[in-house]
Amino acid sequence: MIRRIATPVVVVLAIGALTTCERDLALLLPGRLMQSPDGDVSLVARIAHFSDLQIIDEESPARFAGGEVVTRSAWRPYEAHSAQLADGIIRAVNRIHAAGRPIDFVMQTGDACDNAQWNELEWLLGVFDGSVIDPLSGPDERPIGARPAAALDPHAPFTAQGLYRNGVHGEESSIPWYGVFGNHDCRSIGVFPFFDFPLAGRVAPLPLQPRPGFVLPVVLNPVGTLAYGNVTPAEPGPPSVFETPRFLPAVPTRGFYTKRDYIAAMFRTVTGPPGHGFKDPDTGPSFYSVSPLPGLRLIGLDSCDPVHLLPTYIYVGGAIAPEQLDFLRRELDSARDRGELVIVATHHPSASLSELMGSAVPGSGLRALLNEYTNVVLHLAGHTHRNRVSDRGGYLEIETCSTLDLPQEGRLIEIYRENATGEVVIAYEMFSHLDDDLPPLGDDPLRGLRSSARAIALADKGGAARQKLYDPTGAEPGGRPGDRAATIRLSRSSIRDSRDGIE
């Protein structure tokens, strides 16, 4: 049973969480489904798409677990397993790659971190690079005899496998990966912007200022010493109603990073490519355009880019600034001239773009723009923590679920071209961190821990109710059959192919 916390801050959070941007009724049309891409076709690209890793420092004082009554990002009973679940998804990608279906690149569509903290970012890079990760950021008050074995303890250090690299994991080619910003990658608990204040440092002010802060935080401060709720492995649950704060030692490595910090971090990974799409660690924008393969253009947009950021304002929906919109038009024009197929990647799906959030274009406007270009074939997104595929007229918009929340999956996407006509065929299917139908690639010592995390998530009675905040229809986040696996021929066939002159 979900508890009530009768406080103004929670009311404000609820209003923000329930704000919808645009009603979107588009569905995948069953008549467009095919059995397989049979015939004279060529594979253009095979992509692993996953989103919303939500790698969490669940012990941070900057997380207000009491908000779990209105937003699932505030607290989950299985959240301590986030880094291990992300490692499991990457292990699944590696197994697919090594088993004979080589993956050309990974697209990670945001919310890789949960609270925009430095230690979360370091864990994220460690998951991709294959480093030792110590997810315990604070004191462990559990009696030693009460702690589970390391392989079943989400707070114990572990070694991530890392995304497949030639010479490290085998003789197959290395898998490059690309990412975009999600709201949790650049705002506290995904909604509150943070700022540098004299004396206070970098903190995220909360609504209804000023107030005393006896039972509820006034600011979210990851390097602070006051925690509003149980945030240790011994007491991981959300706080009781009107619980007074507790003192914790300050941990400097928890501080909020900026977008510029995040981009710079993308240039110091051992996995490639350098920058993972971003162009310049010092002055480059938070969006990009790259060609990961000949004949293919990937445009990564920052959908967390409102024109203005205001203290205490709740930024729920997505926003694309005018500068980005102009950039997108230029890149689409150039890709059309080069005869490239185009994938657009954002964290927010189109329906979550909101002019109220400061977006230069609403979702309907973005869809209309993309439909002006017959070479746009995919729009990849996350944010909603659900699997959904929408027919946008000439391209598919694909939302892929979270690796932390159920169903804890990633998606494999294949793009084909029919050699005779140039028509594009898209095939996709889901995969899990617990799949057993592929040969193993090295040891997987944390499979039991990830299985336990899934069992906890399945037993979480509040999870389904909280998912409705992402999807008010209450649809199963795993998606309908057509959201999970299908082969679809795109409706437009006039895509020019610069390789052979096909019109």
Domain ranges of the chain: 8-489
Query: Which has more confidence, 65 or 56?
Result: 56
Sign of CA dihedral 360, 366, 371, 375: positive
Question: Per-residue pLDDT tens for 256-311?
Answer: 999 999 999 999 999 999 999 999 999 999 999 999 999 999 999 999 999 889 99
Cβ-contact 427, 486 below 8 angstroms: yes
Mean pLDDT is lowest, of 30-34, 66-70, 382-386, 474-478, for 30-34
What three-state secondary structure class fits 391?
strand
**Mean pLDDT in residue range 146-172:** 97
Tell me the pLDDT of the chain averaged across its residues: 88
Question: Per-residue pLDDT tens for 427-465?
Answer: 999 999 999 988 999 999 999 999 999 999 999 877 777
Question: Per-residue pLDDT tens for 320-359?
Answer: 999 999 999 999 999 999 999 999 999 999 999 998 888 9
| Peptide bond just before 273 cis, omega within 30 deg | yes
CA 291-108-477 angle, 5° bins: 135
> In 339-493, which ranges are continuous DSSP H helix?
363-370, 447-458, 461-467, 481-484
Cα separation values, 84 from 61, 130, 160, 481, Å: 22, 12, 8, 28
Q: How confident is the model at residue 98 (pLDDT cuts 50, 70, 90)?
A: very high
**Structure confidence at residue 13 (pLDDT):** 44
One-letter amino acid for residue 330 of the chain? R
8-489, which class in CATH? alpha beta
What three-state secondary structure class fits 91?
helix
Q: Is the pLDDT of residue 55 over 80?
A: yes
CA distance 220 to 228: 10
Query: Which has more confidence, 236 or 297?
Result: 297
Question: Per-residue pLDDT tens for 35-48?
Answer: 667 778 999 999 99
**pTM metric for this prediction:** 0.92
Mean pLDDT is lowest, of 50-59, 65-74, 138-147, for 65-74
CA distance 396 to 411: 14
DSSP readout, 279-333? Answer: --TTT--S-EEEEEETTEEEEE--SB--S---TT----SBB--HHHHHHHHHHHH
Question: Per-residue pLDDT tens for 401-418?
Answer: 999 999 999 999 999 999
Q: Is the pLDDT of residue 5 over 60?
A: no
CA distance 217 to 451: 35
**Structure confidence at residue 213 (pLDDT):** 74
Single out the residue of 109, 93, 91 nearest to residue 344, CA to CA. 109
**Structure confidence at residue 357 (pLDDT):** 86
Single out the residue of 18, 245, 275, 7 nearest to residue 125, CA to CA. 275
**Mean pLDDT in residue range 116-140:** 97
Q: Tokens 């107030």 identify what position?
A: 211
